[in-house]
């Protein structure tokens, strides 16, 4: 079975948009709990639909970086906060991640550095973040 990259992007974008919406709400907001629950359902579906393929991509990344950390569920690599960028020519919005977002990785290649991995949509990719800066895409859904 091949992964439907457009659906992957759409599903991941929806999760990111809901995370952005949730981050702008206060806990006291009546809609907060419903949105949070909806988000958890979307993340569960995301792991179910794309888990095998994404985890196999993550295993390759971890091997490449010589990291002994355990590969987590794809939703674990979601940032808490995404910042939308300007849409491209086709109207697609991609997102920027700032600060210490992502799953920490230990690797001797990056001694004493804060190394993290985060998933970002449009196109769906795993980005290597070092000391709070996005350095490079380690895997892109194509």
The 10s digit of each residue's pLDDT in 52-62 is 999 999 999 99
How confident is the model at residue 3, as a pLDDT?
81
Q: For 64-76, what is the mean pLDDT?
A: 95
Burial (Cβ within 10 Å: 0-12, 13-18, ≥19) of residue 122: buried
Domain coordinates of the chain in residue numbers?
5-140
d(CA 133, CA 5): 26
d(CA 84, CA 56): 28
Residue 125 predicted with pLDDT over 70: yes
């Amino acid at each position: 079975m091949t992964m439907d990259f457009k659906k992957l992007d759409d599903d991941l974008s929806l999760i990111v948009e809901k995370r952005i919406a949730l981050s702008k709400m206060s806990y006291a907001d009546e809609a907060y709990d419903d949105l949070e629950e909806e988000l958890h359902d979307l993340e569960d579906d995301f792991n179910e639909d794309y888990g095998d393929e994404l985890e196999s991509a993550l295993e390759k990344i971890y091997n490449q970086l010589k990291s002994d950390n355990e590969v987590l569920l794809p939703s674990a690599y979601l940032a808490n906060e995404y910042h939308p960028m300007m849409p491209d020519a086709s109207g697609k919005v991609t997102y920027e991640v700032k600060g210490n977002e992502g799953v920490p990785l230990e690797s001797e290649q990056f001694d004493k550095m804060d190394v993290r991995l985060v998933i970002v949509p449009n196109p769906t990719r795993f980005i290597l973040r070092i000391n709070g800066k996005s350095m490079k895409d380690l895997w892109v859904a194509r």
